Amino acid sequence: MLKGKEIVLGVTGGIAVYKAVELLRLLVKAGADVHVVMTQSATEFVTPLTFQTLSKNPVHMELFNLISEERIGHISLAERADLFIVAPATANFIGKIACGLADDLLTTTVMATRAPVLIAPAMNVNMYHNPIYRENEERLKNHGYLFVPPVSGMLACGYEGEGKLQAPEAIFEEAVAALTVKSLAGERILVTAGPTLEEIDPVRYVSNHSSGKMGYALARQARLRGAEVTLVTGPTALAPPCGVNVVRVRSATEMRDAVFAALDETDIVIKAAAVADYRPKVRAGSKMKKIQESLTIELEKNPDILAELGAAKGGRLLVGFAAETQDLVRNATTKLNAKNLDLIVANDVSLEGAGFNVDTNIVKLLYRDGRVEELPMMGKEELAGVILERMELLRGKGTK
Ligand code: CTP
């Protein structure tokens, strides 16, 4: 995901330095080439050796180090970087940058870069709310510096409150966002995901094997590309993507209501949810007892949300999924036409590496004009990116 990207990770002194180690690991795992710059006080908390071992690059600390200056001086670091991250960033570091001070290697390189700079502050709650700090942060934001706000919690100084460094995963996500071209800026995208769950009685239900992975990947990738995203999701075990407006539902009826409530503020709808086609006709008010030898539950049809959207779509783009086990193209084409879609992602769920509960998918994209685009097996995150690129093309924004 970050292959070919050069990132400078600045680490300033504070108890949260240990979290920067985890952040470094995530960045390296995603393929980035990371150069760590530590302040003197950061080295009091974690040794440079830890960062050096994980990054497989020398750690930079001193402004005038002749050996490292020759090989990779601070100006060269500043120029080569695609992104700067400073995590944890102390009030002192932020104050210096806000005043244009450059008195050590980190402040000097940050001042000298034209790459985006992402700052993750960590400090005492009173410092965080100090008007001088607030002014400094505002000033930097006005100059285009990006911030990952701290979270609330018990701080090392014993105080409870805002000031705790964000989780490494959240900082990583913002780093990916900072490096992603905002090709969907201005688009409002609604994604549905996961299964729906239709209750039989208070403890039992009818559902399906959908994990929600495809829909969550679409929501995440759309947000990374700058779209405003609403994710209407049935019950899943997944953590919702950062920066996405999440609406949790259970049944198909609830999903329909949530989708139509958001429709006015939506330009593109992507219906990746595996909506249960039927629900029990009667929901028992109390737990059903096993009195009978056999049991028949009568089911009635759920609303077809996508078909209803197709009838009400106006100028919106509408994308559906087709889960099939036979006659993939023919069945998917029928759905594309019947539900008035712009694109359908046709998915033979009987193939290995496709469909429910796996990380990959093998799909064909079917367009309104009859075109069929066959895609190789790929990860759901990557497929989400491809689907969104096709959205840009249909919007007349893309380049392919
Ligand atoms: N869908 C929906 N509401 C339903 C059923 C399906 O919105 N009640 C949407 C799904 O989110 C998906 C598309 O319709 O985008 C196709 O779903 P799929 O289960 O493949 O097809 P169905 O229309 O349900 O037809 P069938 O089950 O007969 O194949």
pLDDT digits (tens, 9 = 90+) for 72-101: 556 688 888 999 999 999 999 999 999 999
Residue range 275-308, pLDDT digits in tens: 999 999 999 999 999 999 999 999 999 999 999 9
- Position 65 scores a pLDDT of 61
260's CB contacts (< 8 A; 6+ apart) are 308, 312
Q: Is 45 in contact with 190 (CB distance < 8 Å)?
A: no
The number of the ligand 1 atom at minimal distance from the alpha carbon of 347 is 20
CA of 259 to the centre of ligand 1 (A): 15
CA 173, chain centre distance (Å): 6
Q: Is 244 in contact with 230 (CB distance < 8 Å)?
A: yes
55's CB contacts (< 8 A; 6+ apart) are 9, 24, 28, 34, 35, 36
CA of 131 to the centre of ligand 1 (A): 54
- Domains of the chain plus CATH, in order, are 6-178 (3.40.50.1950), 188-394 (3.40.50.10300)
CA of 284 to the centre of ligand 1 (A): 26
pLDDT at 16 over 80: yes
Tokens of 305: 């949300």
Residue range 184-205, pLDDT digits in tens: 999 999 999 999 999 999 999 9
Ligand 1 within 6 A of CB of 254: no
Amino acid 121 reads P
- Position 78 scores a pLDDT of 87
Which residue minimizes the CA distance to atom 23 of ligand 1? 335
Nearest C-alpha neighbor of 150 from the set 11, 12, 16, 10 = 16
Provide the mean pLDDT of the chain: 93
Q: Which is more confidently placed, 21 or 156?
A: 21
- Position 348 scores a pLDDT of 87
Residue 67 banded pLDDT, cuts 50, 70, 90: very low
Average pLDDT over residues 141-160: 89
- Position 216 scores a pLDDT of 97
Percentage of the chain beyond pLDDT 70 is 96
Which residue minimizes the CA distance to atom 24 of ligand 1? 277
Residue range 207-225, pLDDT digits in tens: 999 999 999 999 999 999 9
Total residue length of the chain:
400
157 labelled catalytic: yes
Ligand 1 within 6 A of CB of 320: yes
Pocket test for ligand 1, best of 192, 218, 275 (most atoms within 8 A of CB): 275
Residue range 351-370, pLDDT digits in tens: 887 777 788 889 999 999 99
- Position 237 scores a pLDDT of 96
pTM of the model: 0.91
Euclidean distance between CA atoms 30 and 83, whole angstroms: 14
- Position 400 scores a pLDDT of 47
Percentage of the chain beyond pLDDT 90 is 86
**Running DSSP on this structure, what letter comes out for residue 249?**
-
Q: Which is more confidently placed, 150 or 351?
A: 150
Residue range 311-351, pLDDT digits in tens: 999 999 999 999 898 999 999 999 999 999 999 999 988 88
Nearest C-alpha neighbor of 383 from the set 208, 210, 240, 216 = 216
pLDDT at 66 over 70: no
Among 157, 312, 372, 377, the active-site one is 157
251's CB contacts (< 8 A; 6+ apart) are 196, 197, 198, 199, 276, 279, 302
CA of 228 to the centre of ligand 1 (A): 25
Euclidean distance between CA atoms 79 and 8, whole angstroms: 10
Cis check for the bond before 150: say yes or no (omega within 30 of 0).
no
